[in-house]
Structure 1
Amino acid sequence: MNTKKRILFINPYPHDKAPSQRLKYEQYYPHIREAGYEIEYSSFYDDEIWKVLYKPGHVFAKVAGMLRGYFRRIKDLFRLREFDIVYIHLWVTPVRPAFFEWLYGKVAKRIIYDIDDLVFLKEAKHIAWWRGMLKSRKKPVHLMKVAKHVITCTPFLDEFTRQYNPHSTDISSTINTDAYKVVNGYQNDHRLILGWSGSHSTVAYLKGYTDMLQELAKTHDFKLLVMGSADFTIDGVDYEALAWTAEREIPTLQRFDIGLYPLPLDDQWVMGKSGLKALQYM
């Protein structure tokens, strides 16, 4: 008879694609298994929709991908009771209402809720207004209420969570120092590289530096290296924009001489940032 406890991870994104999953808990899957647990994971977005999700157009592919995601969540619903723990990251389904979150809360034996960023905000300066209309504050708040424990990533987020659940722990994203190694000898024998790593959703913060970077390029010789937003452009600056891949991430970070980490303090969204980018740069 199998006596191992079983954990089902309910993930928003495909495996090993999104930083909030990879560096919060996916990198610990082998350690969780070594500790005697059996784990499975189920992603709402699959690899097919992930390729086009944040690109303009591709309406049919996006609709088909969303339908596949909802179908997976319905299938998962009927096996939740097979698992001792259901670990939910961010949400069960991406758009309102909080129906699936309510269902999962009723059926699962025990929920651990992992919240990264202030996903309960309806508005943020870097998010289009229509995307905000699709979000529901009730989803994360409901999951906070029904969870046996909540894992947050910043003191601000932890304080907010404790309004609904006293059982929360602030655990920031972590870096595997066996993989992330410093290679820059800080020698001035090459062209200076200013680097930024992020995603489609946070590149708006980098674009806020446009005027500054353009002025800097008039007096200093440097290259801007952008990872995570392959369609990024900037006039008057020598730049290289790359899509993120797991294989490319660390070698690209190691090319940075100076890492850029713009966080506009007038945007409440940044209060959910744990400083992961700074850790990666270092």
Structure 2
Amino acid sequence: MKILFVCPYPTGTAASQRFRFEQYFPLLQALGVAYATAPFLSHRAWQVLYRKGHTWAKIMAVLGGFLRRLGWLFYVGRYDLVFVHREATPLGYPFFEWAVRFLWRKPMVFDFDDAIWLPNTTDTNGWVAWLKFHKKTALICRWAATVSAGNAYLADYARQFNPNVVINPTTLDTEQWHNPAVWP
């Protein structure tokens, strides 16, 4: 089996991804499951995205992400399953998820751990709020073979659009991520 993990951020940079699926990569590898990640943002883009200013760099980062997604459409057929964490793109209609479902006809798992259908913009990036399409979560839920929700509240939302919903609580790999002992 080959899985493509479509995610917003570069591997190893965002807690949401680390705790939702990245911590399972060694297990997948041990089971002989091949996988690849397809982040929207590059490492360089991640460095400036939530900083104040850097408008031109942010615009270029988003354009680069959309170009990566266009390239991704050419090789999605190599995978047996597409796992979409949160969204394929942060702005606009969920065209890429639509393409997975209707052009490539690949099973898609849609995973989210926040109420991402609610409008939310940071102070530093508020100027792009009008480009967001907040109904995309409902559409992606509808198109997914399975929806993986982080808790019962999120699962209830997803079930409005898809009966195939599992509650997959965010977990922490305590062997990899732990607090050191504070006493001898």
TM-score by length of 1: 0.60
**Residue 108 of structure 1: CA displacement?**
4.3
Larger helix proportion, structure 1 or 2? 2
Corresponding residue of 1:78: 74
Equivalent position to 2:32, from 18, 31, 36:
36
1:95 aligns with 2:91: yes
1:151 aligns with 2:180: no
CA RMSD of aligned residues (A): 1.9
Q: Is the 8 A contact 1:151 1:170 kept in 2?
A: yes
* In 1, Cα distance between equivalents of 2:57 and 2:155: 37
**Residue 130 of structure 1: CA displacement?**
4.5
Mark the runs of 5 or more structure 2 residues left unpaired by the alignment.
Answer: none
* In 2, Cα distance between equivalents of 1:100 and 1:171: 24
Q: Is the 8 A contact 1:85 1:108 kept in 2?
A: no
Structure 1 residues 26-77: Cα deviation after superposition (integer angstroms, max 9, x where no partner): 0101101212211011100011111111111112211221111111100111
* In 2, Cα distance between equivalents of 1:87 and 1:73: 14
* In 1, Cα distance between equivalents of 2:163 and 2:129: 28
1:19 aligns with 2:15: yes
* In 2, Cα distance between equivalents of 1:131 and 1:117: 20
**Inter-CA distance 27–108: structure 2 relative to 1 (3 Å threshold):** farther
**Residue 132 of structure 1: CA displacement?**
4.2
**Residue 98 of structure 1: CA displacement?**
2.5
Q: Secondary structure at the match of 1:78?
A: helix
Equivalent position to 2:136, from 135, 139, 148:
139
* In 1, Cα distance between equivalents of 2:128 and 2:14: 19
* In 1, Cα distance between equivalents of 2:129 and 2:118: 8
Q: Is the 8 A contact 1:85 1:111 kept in 2?
A: yes
Mark the runs of 5 or more structure 1 residues left unpaired by the alignment.
Answer: 186-282
TM-score by length of 2: 0.90
Q: Is the 8 A contact 1:101 1:139 kept in 2?
A: no
Corresponding residue of 1:184: 182
* In 2, Cα distance between equivalents of 1:19 and 1:168: 23
Q: What percent of counterpart residues are identical?
A: 32
Q: Is the 8 A contact 2:41 2:65 kept in 1?
A: yes
Q: Which has the higher contact order (CA 8 A, sep 6+)?
A: 2
Given residue 56 of structure 1, which amino acid in structure 2 is its aligned partner?
A: K
1:54 aligns with 2:50: yes
* In 2, Cα distance between equivalents of 1:131 and 1:34: 42
**Inter-CA distance 132–154: structure 2 relative to 1 (3 Å threshold):** farther
**Residue 131 of structure 1: CA displacement?**
5.1
Corresponding residue of 1:9: 5
Structure 1 residues 98-149: Cα deviation after superposition (integer angstroms, max 9, x where no partner): 3233223222411011112111112x5x745655433222221111111111
* In 1, Cα distance between equivalents of 2:182 and 2:47: 32
Q: Is the 8 A contact 1:105 1:143 kept in 2?
A: no
* In 2, Cα distance between equivalents of 1:10 and 1:108: 16
Q: Is the 8 A contact 2:141 2:158 kept in 1?
A: yes
Corresponding residue of 1:164: 161
Corresponding residue of 2:172: 175
* In 2, Cα distance between equivalents of 1:65 and 1:85: 27
* In 2, Cα distance between equivalents of 1:111 and 1:86: 5
